[in-house]
Amino acid sequence: MPARNDAALEFLLSRRSRPAKTLVAPAPTREELLPILTAAARSPDHGKLEPWRFIVVEQPAMARLAALAEETGRRLGKSPEDIAKGRGQFDQGQLAVVVVEVQKDSPKIPPVEQSYSAGAVCLALLNAALASGWGANWLSGWASHDRGFSAAAFGLAENERIAGIVHIATESSAPPERPRPDLETLTTWMSA
C-alpha cells in the first residue's frame, strides 16, 4: 500500500468553504498570499500551457468593483435584490483572487481541458487558503460572467474570462455542516 498523508486526507474529507459574508479583516498580506498562489499554480495543466492567471484584488479596490457591479446590474435589468447581492460581495470583501482563464491556441490541448485546468486552480486556491488557516469562499457571482464587467473591472482580453473569484480573509464564524452528496447514487463501479 502506498504511503498515506493522513493529515491531508483528513483536511480534504472535512474541508468546508466559509460564507463570504463571514470573512472579516485581516486578510492575508502579500507575503502570506504567495504560498497560497504557489499551491494553486501546481494544479493539473496538460501541456504546461498555464491557461490561467491571477488578479489579486486588495480591499481598497473593492469599492470600485462594488459600484461597477451595481452599474452592470442596472444595465442588465437585474432585480434590486440581485444588484445588492452582486455589489455586496465587493462591499464586504477584504481580499479576493480572481482566477482568469486564458484560452491559448494549441493543436494538442482542447479549450475544454484549459477550462478544466482553470477550474482546478480555483479549487486548489480555495483549499490552500483554508489549509493556511484563512476563511475562504469561491464566490464568482453573476457580474463575473458579464463581458462588460470583466473588461471594465479587470481589463480582460478577448481570449480571457473569469473562472472564479475566491475571497480570502479571517473567518468570523464557522458555518454549520451541510448535507453532502450520496456517493451510492453518484458512483458506478465497472469491473469488466
Give residue limits of the domains in the chain.
Answer: 19-172
DSSP for the chain reads: -PPP-HHHHHHHHH-----GGGEESPPPPHHHHHHHHHHHTTS--TTS---EEEEEEEHHHHHHHHHHHHHHHHHHT--HHHHHHHHHHHHS-SEEEEEEEE----SSS-HHHHHHHHHHHHHHHHHHHHHTT-EEEE---GGGG-HHHHHHHH---TTEEEEEEEEEEEESSPPPP-----HHHH------
- Write out pLDDT tens, residues 132-149: 999 999 999 999 999 999
Cα-based distances in Å from 138 to 20, 27, 87, 109: 8, 15, 16, 26
**Residue-level pLDDT at 32:** 98
- On the question of pLDDT at 6 being above 90, the answer is yes
- Write out pLDDT tens, residues 86-133: 999 999 999 999 999 999 999 999 999 999 999 999 999 999 999 999
- On the question of pLDDT at 178 being above 90, the answer is no
Domain 19-172 has CATH 3.20.20.70: no
Q: How confident is the model at residue 58 (pLDDT cuts 50, 70, 90)?
A: very high
Indicate the SS3 state at residue 147: helix
- On the question of pLDDT at 153 being above 90, the answer is yes
What average pLDDT does range 29-44 have in this prediction? 98
